[in-house]
Amino acid sequence: MRTRRSWDLNGLALVLALAWLIVYPLVLVGVEATHADLGAFIASHAERAALWNSLWISVASVALAAGIGIPLAFVFERYDFPARRFLGALVALPAVLPPLVGVIAFLFLYGETGFVARGVRALLHLSHDPWRLQGPAAILLVHAYSMYVYFYLFTRAGLARLDASMLEAAASLGAGPWRTFRRVTLPLLAPSLWGAALLTFMTALASFSAPYVFGGSFRVMTTQIVATKLNGDLPTAMLETLALAVLAIAGFVVVQRNEGDRLTFSVGKGMAPRARRIAHPLARGAAAALGWTLALVLLLPHLTLVVVSLVPAGTWTTQAIPPAWSLGNYATLFGEAGRLRPLLNSLWMAAAATAAAVAVALVAAHLAVRRRVALRGAIETLLALPWAVPGTVVAIGLATLFSVDRPLAGRWVLVGTAAILPLAYLVRSLPLTGRSLLAGYRQLDPSLEEAAESLGAGPWRRLTRVTLPLLKPAIAAGASLAFVTALGDFVTSVLLYTYDTRPIAIEILASLRLADVGVAAAFGVVLMAVSAVALGVGAKAGAAAEAEAGQ
């Protein structure tokens, strides 16, 4: 039997390993940044503009996402109308679009040569493009589309947890609907809303694909860093990276503290209010029509990708509707070794990173939750930290850490090797697998493992026969999210890839540059399909295991 002390030592080893991959790169970035000219950085108009742009774009994204997501959640949770369940699930669909794929779908749909613009041109007989999809408006459009889902899902979950008897209590005390909403519903929803706001803010701040494709001369910090690095001004890039990291962590701390204050409210437990059936046939029809229209708008980017992927190269010029259709782009994708390579690269790198992230999270959760090692707080913080750090910062940090051969300082040259991207994906996956496994372990009754132990089962048998089968839903949930994130990753890949290990997102961008639009779309469709399957498998494994457990 191991002693408390040896478990604590294991905990220490894990903390050191995590700190080496997560904190050490940030420290090195900070050290390198001291070589930059701080005065020039502060004086530079471009730098200040990029920082300001990052900030206001993120805040505006939160406002837009909240403005769309919260009302949608209320409508779908509180009212019953035809096809409510189906449409309610459809509304969460933008989550399945990997960032870069979403951006190019918008480009094909609303861009100056996209379907909508072509339609308008044909309709009005214009000789020029009716608009340009560029700048902050374009970025915000993409953000609003992809990030309202956070508010939608969090608010629905919060509403579903709300105890109907609280609303009835408010009503019996004489509160009208508005007062009930303001004094009861909203405060009880606050933790969910803060959670969604935090997620949206951090995602928008770290967003790279949309500003990269649509930004043009409008720079945010993430695109600024990449541009500076490409220009070869490394010290300044380090300083910019540091600034973005500080901004992100500050945002994280501010919102999380507010969330913490309000978490005390979320104690409600009971029956959620039932959805109110819309009775009037006209109103039912209107609600359904509105729902279907909304679903169509939300589905348009996905449909656009599929359509564009079916158009043979060079056949579609000025027509509103493509004149020819074929599966040629898919044949190119799967037929040419050079084209298939990125797909295989992404698959194995994402799979390796996910497997490693699950293993690390499993060990961390066991030490933190079950063994309650002395450093459990540090373990949990380190696992969550990469979530607060934008992908660009992670990539620059790892590029710095693994750029020199200094084994005594824990540094090896991995930049330019096949190991660097899976490592970056691993760091980015840790918060996802970590959170789900910590939660899974907390819900796992310790007496189950003790029961196995008292029945004579050794550590290996306990792990494989009891712990892992019971953690299956948590592993499935964390692993599918991690896999999908790594598979569609663009932001870290663009800074770390080598030609041999180029992932799908890089190939999509390269195809776009070569005006190989159909192939780019085909890649997008394949990526979308694999992501959807992975998320579906994850959800199904979770649901099946839960059904087995009986609740």
Partner 1 sequence: MKGEGRDVHVRDEKYLSVAGLTKSFGGVAAVDALSLGVARGEILALLGPSGSGKTTTLRLLAGFEVPDAGTITVDGEDVTRTAPAARRFGMVFQHYALFPHLDVGQNVSFGLAASGEAAARRVREVLAMVDLAGYERRPVTALSGGQQQRVAVARSLAPEPRVLLLDEPLSNLDPSLRERTRRELRRAIKQVGITTVFVTHEQEEAFELGDRIAVLSAGHLEQVGTADELYDEPRTAFVAGFVGRAAALPGERVAGAVRAGARALVRPEAMRFVPLAGAALQGVVTERRFVGAQAYFTVDAGAGAVFDVQAPHGAVRVGERVGVAVDRVLFWDRTDAPTHGRTE
> Which residue lies nearer to partner 1 by CB, 132 or 461?
461
Interface with partner 1 (CB under 8 A), residue from 293, 326, 447, 498: 447
Least CB distance to partner 1 at residue 544 (A): 10
| 513 class by beta-carbon count within 10 Å (0-12 exposed, 13-18 middle, 19+ buried) | exposed
> Which residue lies nearer to partner 1 by CB, 178 or 460?
460
Torsion-angle region of residue 314: left (phi > 0), alpha (psi -120 to 50) or beta?
left
CB of 334 within 8 A of CB of 463?
no
Least CB distance to partner 1 at residue 264 (A): 26
> Which residue lies nearer to partner 1 by CB, 118 or 376?
376
With binding defined as CB under 8 A, does residue 338 bind partner 1?
no
Q: What is the CA radius of gyration of the chain?
A: 25
> Which residue lies nearer to partner 1 by CB, 449 or 516?
449
- Separation of alpha carbons 190 and 133, rounded Å: 35
Window of 251-259, 276-284, 358-366, 448-456 that interacts with partner 1 by CB under 8 A: 448-456
DSSP classification of residue 158: H
**The three-state (H, E, C) secondary structure of 82-106, written as one string:** CCHHHHHHHCCHHHHCCHHHHHHHH
With binding defined as CB under 8 A, does residue 174 bind partner 1?
no
> Which residue lies nearer to partner 1 by CB, 277 or 461?
461
CA distances from 270 to 64, 162, 215 (A): 32, 7, 47
Q: Which two tokens stand for residue 385?
A: 């930290």
Least CB distance to partner 1 at residue 462 (A): 8
Q: Which two tokens stand for residue 115?
A: 């379907």
CB of 91 within 8 A of CB of 83?
no
* Torsion sign, CA atoms 227, 230, 236, 242: positive
> Which residue lies nearer to partner 1 by CB, 8 or 453?
453
- Separation of alpha carbons 320 and 406, rounded Å: 59
Least CB distance to partner 1 at residue 267 (A): 23
Q: Which two tokens stand for residue 315?
A: 């056949």
Q: Which two tokens stand for residue 33?
A: 């940044």
Least CB distance to partner 1 at residue 547 (A): 9
With binding defined as CB under 8 A, does residue 169 bind partner 1?
no
Least CB distance to partner 1 at residue 464 (A): 12
Least CB distance to partner 1 at residue 541 (A): 12
| Residues of this chain, 467-496, that bind partner 1 according to CB under 8 A | 469-470
Interface with partner 1 (CB under 8 A), residue from 254, 296, 344, 448: 448
| Residues of this chain, 449-468, that bind partner 1 according to CB under 8 A | 450-458, 465-466
- Separation of alpha carbons 538 and 544, rounded Å: 10
* Torsion sign, CA atoms 136, 394, 365, 434: positive
Taking CB under 8 A as the rule, which mask of x and - marks residues 392-431 in contact with partner 1? ----------------------------------------
- Separation of alpha carbons 74 and 91, rounded Å: 13
Least CB distance to partner 1 at residue 548 (A): 5
User: Given the rule CB under 8 A, which residues bind partner 1?
Assistant: 1, 445, 447-448, 450-458, 465-466, 469-470, 545, 548-551
